[in-house]
Amino acid sequence: MRVVNLGPDPSLAYRPDSHEKDKSEFRNFESGALFDRVFNTYKLMHTYQTLDFVKQKHLEWANCNHFSMSMMENIDCLDELVDESDPDVDFPNSFHAFQTAEGIRKEHPDKDWFQLVGLIHDIGKIMALYGEPQWAVVGDTFPVGCKFQNSIVFRNSTFEGNPDGKNPALNTEFGIYEPKCGLDNILMSWGHDEYLYRVMKFNKCTIPEEGLYMIRFHSFYPWHSNGDYMHLCNEKDLQMLPWVKEFNKFDLYTKSTELPDVGSLRPYYQSLIDKYCPGILRW
């Protein structure tokens, strides 16, 4: 029998002595070999991701009229992409997709939709292969149209060129929004999260709402990991937050140079794609 490497066990993240990286070593935005690349990506993002820019990107991408492709074809395209905002990995994004999915399958074998979300959560990054700069595709997300909170990565050193921060209509705690209006009514910085969510809705994919929240807000670290922006959340957001947190531990702590045997895993994950988002999709 062939022994297949199914990737690292996510529970190892909670036993740092036996994991190749301590939990504290992930998301190091202060030093490391990739620091300059990461900082420059966020500097561009935090300068140019304005309310007007985000509205323009919704017009350009949310209608899903750029190309047609199956889900697995998109995953294969990620072999061409290394995320310039990620301080933890320097290998193609497709490996991370299978690492995340396999971590979820081990701990949640009864939730096939959750496993599929692990596989596809980053494939909105395909925009970077169709002309979008990475600062408009990757990295942590944050609301536009209101005050930039302090927990945003590089908050104190990268926003000075963003005109929204100097606009009195946009730089208050609520900005253009109402208290507890709900994240559905918030415009987030444009990136792969919101884009894939729009693709899922446009193509009428049947992933449950919990999975759609994971897709849409998994990069919203100021919210799910730091507790900011709660003043904009409604009851639905608070109910979904534990699901996003549960997803995050697999998204983050399964990153490893121990890469899975992707070929052996494809038939299983193709069956999940066929169940929840089959055929050729519009992007």
Residue (of 96, 114, 97) closest to 243 by Cα position: 114
> Is 27 assigned to a binding site?
yes
Rg (CA), the chain: 18
Residue (of 200, 197, 216) closest to 281 by Cα position: 200
> Is 218 assigned to a binding site?
yes
Q: For residue 211, with 0-12 CB atoms within 10 Å meaning exposed, 13-18 middle and 19 or more buried, which class applies?
A: buried
> Is 121 assigned to a binding site?
yes
Q: What angle do CA 115, 95, 280 make, to 5 degrees?
A: 65
> Is 85 assigned to a binding site?
yes
> Is 122 assigned to a binding site?
yes
> Is 107 assigned to a binding site?
no
Residue 270, Cβ neighbours under 10 Å: how many? 14
The bridge status of strand 280-282 relative to strand 68-70 is antiparallel
> Is 83 assigned to a binding site?
yes
Residue position matching structure tokens 């995050």: 248
> Is 55 assigned to a binding site?
no
> Token pair for residue 182?
């709900």
> Is 192 assigned to a binding site?
yes
Residue position matching structure tokens 């140079």: 257
What is the number of alpha carbons within 13 Å of residue 76 lying toward its C-beta?
8
Whether residue 93 contacts residue 134, with contact meaning beta carbons closer than 8 Å, is answered with no
> Is 140 assigned to a binding site?
yes
**240 three-state secondary structure:** helix
> Is 23 assigned to a binding site?
no
> Is 125 assigned to a binding site?
yes
Residue (of 13, 105, 79, 129) closest to 263 by Cα position: 79
Residue (of 253, 249, 139, 263) closest to 191 by Cα position: 139
Annotation: binding site for substrate: 27, 83-85, 125, 139-140, 218-219
Q: Which residues are annotated as a binding site for Fe cation?
A: 96, 121-122, 192, 218, 251
- Tell me the binding residues: 27, 83-85, 96, 121-122, 125, 139-140, 192, 218-219, 251
